[in-house]
Amino acid sequence: MSDLLALAGNQNCGKTTLFNCLTGSNQHVGNFPGVTVEKKEGPIKGHKDMILVDLPGIYSLSPYTSEEVVTRDFILKEHPKAVINIVDATNIERNLYLSLQLMELGIPMVIALNMMDEVRASGNSIDVELLSAHLGVPVIPISAGKNEGISDLLDAVTETVRHPKPPARMDFCRGEVHKAIHSIAHIIEDQAKTSGYPLRFAATKLVEGDELMIKALHLTSDQKHILNHMVENMEKALDMDREAALADMRYTFIEEICRDCVVKHRETREQVRSEKIDRLLTHKYLGIPIFLGIMLLIFWLTFSVLGAPLQDLLDNWIGVGTDWLEGVLVSAGTSEWVRSLLIDGVCAGVGSVLSFLPIIVLLFFFLSLLEDSGYMARVAFVMDKMLRKIGLSGRSFVPMLIGFGCSVPAIMATRTLSSDRDRKMTIVLTPFMSCSAKLPIYGMITMAFFPKQGGIVMFALYVLGMVVAILSGLLLKSTIFKGNPVPFVMELPSYRMPALRGVLMLMWEKAKDFIRKAFTIIFVAAIVIWFLQSFDWSLNWVEDSTDSILASIGSVIAPLFIPLGFDDWRASTALITGLTAKESVVSTLTVLTGAASDAQLSAVLHTIFTPVSSISFLAFTVLYMPCVAAFAATKRELGSLRAAVATAAYQTSVAYIAAFVIFQFGQLFFG
Amino acid sequence: MTLDQVKPGYGGIITAVGGEGALRHRLLDMGLTPKTHVMVRKVAPMGDPIELYLRSYVLTIRREDAAKIQLKEVSPV
């Protein structure tokens, strides 16, 4: 039996760095059951019998966010042998606020006092032993970024697991709060025991007015009455309501111990440096241009300078591999359809998606630099006002921008959003940002119909995507995502050098994630599309894809698009194959029309579309559900297939309506 | 005076924190409790949100939420 350990702490206190330090590369990433909150776990290096679970970065154990509820549920239900609480020593007051609540859970705890190097370097100091004596738990000074103090921490943890002792001190209160907590503890003792809640934690949460706890304990109406009476007395005596009283009690206790243990002459060098950097990066006039400049630089590096050659290289390798496989298959004398399945279906389908890998890895490299350096919080600060109107916060800006490159990493990047609601809404809206794979489609149509106004048409399509995202945001905000958004009360952490190891591990994790998708859902989708394209309804092999099942499905759904102005089966078939990857729309139209040159293709397109219906076709392409790779990412990040299907259905309906409106109005004016 | 009216470079002592539900809990959890000294450091480029300094760290909140926090003894820091 291995021992379970939990790692808990605030955001931006070096928790991930410490986790990587303790577990090395041996990590498993998943979700906590029932919620889309990420859960990472792995055995501790050199202690294979200890499994460490990384809990979400939180500031309190309130019942208001899924991250905080997950944390308290995990500790209460999974009974870890010990909690490692990481505390940022440069920001000790606010960090200890969570520590006090964790201690009330009665699980043995070790405090890892991180960033002690920064405290010392700036001439400040913390009396670690005295702090430990005040808190009644071991306190170990470390600097996770420099790998200092880790073995001491492990010694303390091993010792705690071997001789478990709950925190020696849980009583941080005095006066009126003390009176209330202790009297309530008396009357709920039995219920706390039967429902398995630590008494002290239960009593504190009841005094605080925590709805989850009131429900969980099944208080009788008598008990509720007494509880309310005591709380009222406390509130009157303190001239403060219950929530403020409890927060005040914890912070007052923390201020007292800090007065004893912490000597702070000045801000740390990192804090002073951050203020200077922010003079530029969040500058009144320069802040936004600098941010856009940084994003432009990242796009340029990802999509042209570094990404394009890597993508070509990978394409070549895939081509060489495919040729080799084809040679093997031919010499083995396999039948034509087997070869077609493996070459045209699997290799072509998975291969075209896999060639996106360099771009995804590169984007995540830059994104994690932005996140780990502390800049992402500034982006949220600078851009918040713009996104607030559609019910999101500034944090959603970056995933949406990445959506212009590729929806897949954009959807994967929503992981960094701290609110579940914002995350879901951003996932739904991001694909409206026109991704780069759609550019060939725009190119094809504008070349045929608007050779002179290509630029304007493309610009209009990008604007259309954004406008629809805004309208969608307004709609979703007042329907499905109604209710209060998570408050925008966000720390701006000190700027720090990102740990290279963490950045590389994130890249590797995202690459693995993407490759897994390519070989599961995308693999299946490629085979299905290949099958539909290669056989007719009596399962006979077809030479000409115009006789295939896909073509007949295309013909069947073609009438659906009459109100949008294009009812040709080749257009609807191209929209279906566009689901494997958007650029397939172009190759499918080329194949189905049998066009041998661009000029021929343009000519045939004129028989399929009118200028007005070509615009409605483009509008539909901009907005309808993203490709399977993005769909797979949506499913993973939303944590449910049903939600992903609903999202795709929503996006496709929006596309339909928009294209309908565009075509009908277009007919009025130009038809 | 409420926190949203405080000019950058000025600070004061919190006397009361209003609001309700998740927002209020969060403000209190982040250390905006009565008797705490808080300073306004900056305003975002579009005029909102604002940047605060308290308990040796930097926090950002929106103006409409800052309007729920009462301050006394506001003076330049």
Chain A within 8 Å of B57 (Cβ-Cβ)?
yes
For A278, the closest chain B residue by CA position comes to: B42
B22/A284 CB distance under 8 A: no
Q: For residue B48, which amino acid is it?
A: D
User: Does residue A189 share a domain with residue A81?
Assistant: no
Residue from A101, A213, A251 to probe the interface with B (highest B Cβ count within 10 Å): A251
Domain-located, residue A281: no
In contact, A355 and A315? CB cutoff 8 Å: yes
Mean pLDDT of B38-60: 96
Domain-located, residue A81: yes
Q: What pLDDT is attached to residue A671?
A: 66
User: Does residue A211 share a domain with residue A65?
Assistant: no
User: Does residue A192 share a domain with residue A121?
Assistant: no
Nearest residue, CB atoms, B22 vs list A274, A284, A484 = A484
Predicted complex: ipTM over 0.85: yes
Note the pLDDT tens digit of each residue in A575-587. Answer: 998 988 888 888 8
Note the pLDDT tens digit of each residue in A6-40. Answer: 999 999 999 999 999 999 878 888 777 777 678 89
Contacts of A493 in chain B (CB under 8 A): 58
- In Å, how far are A111, A149, A168, A371 from A152, measured between CA atoms? 12, 5, 21, 29
All residues at 6 or more sequence positions from A645 whose CB lies less than 8 Å from its CB, including other chains:
none
For B54, the closest chain A residue by CA position comes to: A94
Distance between first and last Cα of chain A: 75
Q: Last residue of a domain, which of A116, A137, A162?
A: A162
Rounded to a whole number, what is the distance in Å from the CA of A534 to chain B's nearest CA? Answer: 56
Cα atoms in the 13 Å half-sphere on the side-chain side of A357: 22
Distance CA A78, CA A258 (A): 32
B60/A490 CB distance under 8 A: yes
**Other Cβ atoms closer than 10 A to B72:** 10
User: Does residue A140 share a domain with residue A93?
Assistant: yes
Nearest residue, CB atoms, B21 vs list A282, A284, A484 = A484
Nearest residue, CB atoms, B29 vs list A60, A275, A388 = A60
CA A503-A509-A511 angle, to 5 degrees, is 105
All residues at 6 or more sequence positions from A509 whose CB lies less than 8 Å from its CB, including other chains:
A27, A29
CA A278-A281-A286 angle, to 5 degrees, is 130
Q: What pLDDT is attached to residue A390?
A: 87
Chain A within 8 Å of B15 (Cβ-Cβ)?
no
Chain A within 8 Å of B51 (Cβ-Cβ)?
yes
Residue from A489, A490, A491, A495 to probe the interface with B (highest B Cβ count within 10 Å): A489
A489/B28 CB distance under 8 A: no
Question: Tokens 């809404």 appear where?
Answer: A425
Contacts with B, A 279-298, CB within 8 Å: 282-285, 287-288
For A394, the closest chain B residue by CA position comes to: B49
Domain-located, residue A268: no
A283/B28 CB distance under 8 A: no
Under-50 pLDDT residues of chain A: none
Distance between first and last Cα of chain B: 16
Cis peptide leading into residue B49 (ω within 30°): yes
Nearest residue, CB atoms, B30 vs list A59, A267, A377 = A59
In CATH, what number is assigned to the domain containing residue A126?
A: 3.40.50.300
All residues at 6 or more sequence positions from A217 whose CB lies less than 8 Å from its CB, including other chains:
A188, A191, A192, A195, A197, A202, A206
Domain-located, residue A518: no
Q: Comparing C-alpha atoms, which of A568, A570, A562 is closest to residue A667?
A: A562
Domain-located, residue A335: no
Contacts of A94 in chain B (CB under 8 A): 30-31, 55, 57
pTM for this entry:
0.87
**Other Cβ atoms closer than 10 A to A26:** 11
| E strands, A134-256, in order | 139-141
User: Does residue A110 share a domain with residue A199?
Assistant: no
Q: What pLDDT is attached to residue A440?
A: 85
Q: Token pair of A70, please?
A: 């997950």
Domains: count for chain A: 2
B62/A90 CB distance under 8 A: no
Domain-located, residue A87: yes
Q: φ, ψ for residue A111 (rounded to 5)?
A: -95, 125
Q: Between β-strands B69-76 and A28-31, what pairing exists: parallel, antiparallel or unpaired?
A: unpaired
Residue from B13, B43, B56 to probe the interface with A (highest A Cβ count within 10 Å): B56
Q: Token pair of A262, please?
A: 């912490």
For B56, the closest chain A residue by CA position comes to: A91
Which residue segment(s) compose the domain that A211 sits in? 175-239
User: Does residue A156 share a domain with residue A7?
Assistant: yes
A287/B44 CB distance under 8 A: yes
Chain B within 8 Å of A243 (Cβ-Cβ)?
yes
User: Does residue A191 share a domain with residue A158?
Assistant: no
What are the domain boundaries of chain B? 3-76
Chain A within 8 Å of B22 (Cβ-Cβ)?
yes
A382/B45 CB distance under 8 A: yes
Domain-located, residue A133: yes
Fold of B3-76: SH3 type barrels. (2.30.30)
User: Does residue A90 share a domain with residue A115?
Assistant: yes
User: Does residue A191 share a domain with residue A138?
Assistant: no
What's the 3-state SS for A544-573?
Answer: CHHHCHHHHHHHHHHHHHHHHCCCCHHHHH
Chain B within 8 Å of A490 (Cβ-Cβ)?
yes
Mean pLDDT of chain B: 95
Domain-located, residue A124: yes
User: Does residue A11 share a domain with residue A82?
Assistant: yes
Contacts with B, A 425-464, CB within 8 Å: none
Q: Last residue of a domain, which of A103, A129, A162?
A: A162
